[in-house]
A and B are shown apart, each in its own frame.
Chain A
Amino acid sequence: GIQVEQSPPDLILQEGANSTLRCNFSDSVNNLQWFHQNPWGQLINLFYIPSGTKQNGRLSATTVATERYSLLYISSSQTTDSGVYFCAGSSGGSNYKLTFGKGTLLTVNP
């Protein structure tokens, strides 16, 4: 299966700051998702983005499939953005099997 690496592993921001989270994968993906795991443990879907760019409010994501990476942008961060951000991808014949990165732990301080 594919390998998924996320960076940075930890990030501390002041409220209002912007940030970029990165996800590298070892092979071409045909499914790429970003999730936010909130402090209660829920996995919230942010983006389904095998390629291209999408925006949803203060969040946007870009996947460059040919270069095997995806970026998640958070603008004007809020304390409620705190939690762990995961990217997950799948490829080839196992396109159902999401492989998760280890996550980025984001802490937004007031």
Chain B
Amino acid sequence: DAGVIQSPRHEVTEMGQEVTLRCKPISGHNSLFWYRQTMMRGLELLIYFNNNVPIDDSGMPEDRFSAKMPNASFSTLKIQPSEPRDSAVYFCASSLDRGLEAFFGQGTRLTVV
């Protein structure tokens, strides 16, 4: 398996623009996660999907952030409008089931100027 695939790897955008990050989980995994890594806060969970259903979105910072999982092989994280404080590395991860080993994608480094 190719592992968790994220795109793009790098994104530079201007403040106010919409940003969409994409993720393809490992085939057969029913749990998908979006994490964010910053120097100040470290790695933190934004949202968790199980069987394509959002289970826990308590980590989503505000309404500007939204995530969808239309099918078992694709998820998006959208920021609209983007702000400079959203600059971070965003990771997608998946696991066979909740509580089992999670595997991370290579991350998307987002810079909002």
CB of A33 within 8 A of CB of B98, answer no
Collect the chain A residues with CB atoms within 8 Å of residue B82's CB. Answer: none
Contacts A96-B33, A96-B48, A96-B50 given; indicate if A42 touches B99 (C-beta within 8 A). no
| Nearest opposing residue in chain B for A97, CB measure | B45
CB of A43 within 8 A of CB of B56, answer no
CB of A30 within 8 A of CB of B106, answer no
Interface status of A90 (Cβ within 8 A of chain B): yes
CB of B55 within 8 A of CB of A42, answer no
Q: Mask for B94-107, Cβ within 8 A of A = 1, else 0? A: 01001111111011
CB of A95 within 8 A of CB of B98, answer yes
Interface status of B78 (Cβ within 8 A of chain A): no
Interface status of B75 (Cβ within 8 A of chain A): no
Q: Which of A33, A42, A96, A103 contacts B106 (CB 8 A)?
A: A42
| Nearest opposing residue in chain B for A31, CB measure | B99
Contacts A96-B33, A98-B102 given; indicate if A41 touches B42 (C-beta within 8 A). no
Q: Mask for B27-57, Cβ within 8 A of A = 1, else 0? A: 0000101000000001111001010000110
Interface status of B72 (Cβ within 8 A of chain A): no
Collect the chain A residues with CB atoms within 8 Å of residue B103's CB. Answer: 45
Q: Mask for A71-98, Cβ within 8 A of B = 1, else 0? A: 0000000000000001010100011111
Collect the chain B residues with CB atoms within 8 Å of residue A96's CB. Answer: 31, 33, 48, 50, 55-56, 95, 98-99
Q: Chain B: residues with CB nearer than 8 A to chain A?
A: 31, 33, 42-45, 48, 50, 55-56, 89, 91, 95, 98-104, 106-107, 109
Top 4 closest pairs, chain A to chain B, by CB: A95-B99, A48-B101, A96-B98, A43-B104
Show 30 A/B contacts (Cβ-Cβ < 8 Å), sorted by A: A30-B99, A31-B100, A31-B101, A41-B89, A41-B106, A41-B107, A41-B109, A42-B104, A42-B106, A42-B107, A43-B104, A43-B107, A45-B103, A45-B104, A48-B101, A86-B43, A88-B43, A94-B56, A95-B99, A96-B50, A96-B56, A96-B95, A96-B98, A96-B99, A97-B45, A97-B48, A98-B33, A98-B102, A100-B42, A100-B43
